[in-house]
Amino acid sequence: MPQYRFQVKSQDGKTQSGVMSADSASAAATVLRNQGVHVMSVDEQKGSSAGSGFMETLAAMNNKKPTQKNVLDFTTQLAVMIRAGINLRAALDGIADQTDHKMFKKIINQLKADVESGKQFSDALMRYPKLFGPLYINMVRASEMSGSFSDMLERIAGYIGQQMETRRMVIGASIYPAIIGGMAVSVTVFLMTFVLPKFYTVFEGKEDVLPWATNFLMGVSQLMTEQWPFLVGGFVVIFGAIFAFGKTEVGGFWIDRMKLTVPVLRTMFRSLYITRSLQTMGQLINAGVPMLDTIAITGDITGNRIFEGLWRKVHTSVKQGRKIADPMQGSSLLPKSVVQMVAAGEESGKLGEVLDEISVFYAQKLKDNIKAVTGMIEPVMIILMGSVVGFIAMAIILPIFKMSQIVS
């Protein structure tokens, strides 16, 4: 049976805390209320005390900006506590006491202060738009109007968790190729700057009879060993310029377009943006957010300027009184089957449910695409690495073999 750490306030105003066993946080809160105390917080206790103390020490050292993991944990705890019957102010107070991230603790305390001053929780969240985002704020605002606060928080937590999982999959798919590429570059630089220069004296004066590959590599090796400061500076300037260009509107647009046109990667990125767009839109529609706001938020969170332009067209079309599927008809970004299902959901009045089903399908398709891309990149990178190393080895060994034949 799980252990729950609780904090309560007795009838005489004294605050007490402790640990108890219960089937769930809701059951623990019920037991405590039956004892005639005011429940301030109930949180599941994970791990041993020594491990928890070590983790808390590490977390206390973290002064970085809050991450989506912090927001996910906060939302999950808040949903559990609200469902357990704890009021919002007390729930925020309890979560703040248990939060070890210094900056996020200040944010929660500020949210509590705003709520105590009479602000709606969604208005308090608007103080931190970059951390919580428009989707989070609008879904909370919709729940405040409908009275389904705890259910909406659970839905938001599920959405954040799915987005984090998708991000982890994409990053994980790029780690292996990056490692192989880094190893290939490192081995090549080592051979060109440390191994090949040792053969200068052997090959010196014999340039006319050496294979073209050997002459070419010797020239490159001399350039790397003698002019390395200028080469390093040039690479830094080039990569800095590319990075700066990518931060501009034109550069960002060009990079976003490349993601959708590169043969190996375009299927994966297209599935990613479709999943993210339709999942967001479905969540907002099911939450009761107005349609124009839903479409605008969907465009903002896609993460690709090309898809953002599509949703901007949809927003303009709906604002003019047309249907959502109309501007999607001529777009190459969405498959015809998706457009047809969106149109069917719009006609039947079940657009939110349809979008949820489509996003689930494309989420699975995204996982399959990531596995396929990783499986394709792995042998390609190994072949490229082997080819480069083999070419260098051939350029070194071949002239030595010829010279040994001449001597013999």
Per-residue pLDDT band at 48 (split at 50, 70, 90): very low
- For residue range 244-297, what is the model confidence (pLDDT) as tens digits? 888 888 888 898 898 888 877 788 888 888 888 888 888 888 888 888 888 988
Three-class SS of residue 8? strand
Judged against a pLDDT cut of 80, whether residue 50 lies above it is answered with no
Comparing 233 with 379, which gets the higher pLDDT? 233
Q: What is the value of pTM for the model shown?
A: 0.66
Reference 111, options 84, 142, 90; nearest CA is 90
Judged against a pLDDT cut of 60, whether residue 77 lies above it is answered with yes
Give, to the nearest 10 degrees, the angle between helix 291-301 and helix 266-287: 150
Reference 60, options 30, 23, 104, 18; nearest CA is 104
Fill in the amino acid letter for 27.
A
Give, to the nearest 10 degrees, the angle between helix 266-287 and helix 351-407: 160
* DSSP summary character for residue 24: S
Three-class SS of residue 325? coil
Domain ranges within the chain, ordered by starting residue: 3-119, 173-408
Q: How far apart are CA 101 and CA 91, in angstroms?
A: 17
Comparing 315 with 49, which gets the higher pLDDT? 315
Query: Hey, what are 184's tokens?
Result: 């290939």
Per-residue pLDDT band at 405 (split at 50, 70, 90): low
How much of the chain exceeds pLDDT 90, in percent?
Answer: 3
Q: What does the pLDDT read at residue 236?
A: 92
Mean pLDDT calculated for residue range 220-237: 86
Reference 101, options 129, 132, 79, 68; nearest CA is 68
Mean pLDDT calculated for residue range 353-379: 83
- Name which of 140-154, 223-237, 268-282, 355-369 the model is least confident about: 140-154
Q: What does the pLDDT read at residue 58?
A: 47
Q: How far apart are CA 4 and CA 20, in angstroms?
A: 5
Whether domain 173-408 has CATH 1.20.81.30: yes
* DSSP summary character for residue 37: -
How much of the chain exceeds pLDDT 70, in percent?
Answer: 88
Query: Hey, what are 260's tokens?
Result: 């959708």
Q: What does the pLDDT read at residue 207?
A: 67
Judged against a pLDDT cut of 70, whether residue 1 lies above it is answered with no
At residue 284, what are phi and psi to the nearest 5 degrees? -70, -40
At residue 6, what are phi and psi to the nearest 5 degrees? -125, 160
Judged against a pLDDT cut of 50, whether residue 56 lies above it is answered with no
- Name which of 226-230, 300-304, 326-330, 402-406 the model is least confident about: 402-406
Q: List 7's β-bridge partners, or say none.
A: 17, 41
Q: How far apart are CA 187 and CA 107, in angstroms?
A: 48
Sequence-distant (≥ 6) Cβ neighbours of residue 211 within 8 angstroms = 395, 398, 399
Q: How far apart are CA 134 and CA 111, in angstroms?
A: 16
Q: What does the pLDDT read at residue 238?
A: 93
Comparing 18 with 109, which gets the higher pLDDT? 109
Per-residue pLDDT band at 13 (split at 50, 70, 90): low
Judged against a pLDDT cut of 70, whether residue 11 lies above it is answered with no
Q: What does the pLDDT read at residue 228?
A: 83
Per-residue pLDDT band at 60 (split at 50, 70, 90): very low
At residue 394, what are phi and psi to the nearest 5 degrees? -65, -40
Judged against a pLDDT cut of 70, whether residue 201 lies above it is answered with yes
Comparing 180 with 309, which gets the higher pLDDT? 309
CA 243, distance to chain mean position in Å, is 20
Q: How far apart are CA 134 and CA 3, in angstroms?
A: 35
Q: List 6's β-bridge partners, or say none.
A: 18, 42
Fill in the amino acid letter for 399.
P
Comparing 18 with 307, which gets the higher pLDDT? 307
- For residue range 159-190, what is the model confidence (pLDDT) as tens digits? 888 888 878 877 877 787 788 778 888 888 88
Judged against a pLDDT cut of 90, whether residue 237 lies above it is answered with yes
Cβ 331 vs Cβ 273: under 8 Å:
no
Cβ 25 vs Cβ 40: under 8 Å:
no
Q: What does the pLDDT read at residue 406?
A: 58
Q: What does the pLDDT read at residue 26?
A: 65
Q: Side by side, which strands form the sheet with 3-9?
A: 15-21, 3-9, 38-45
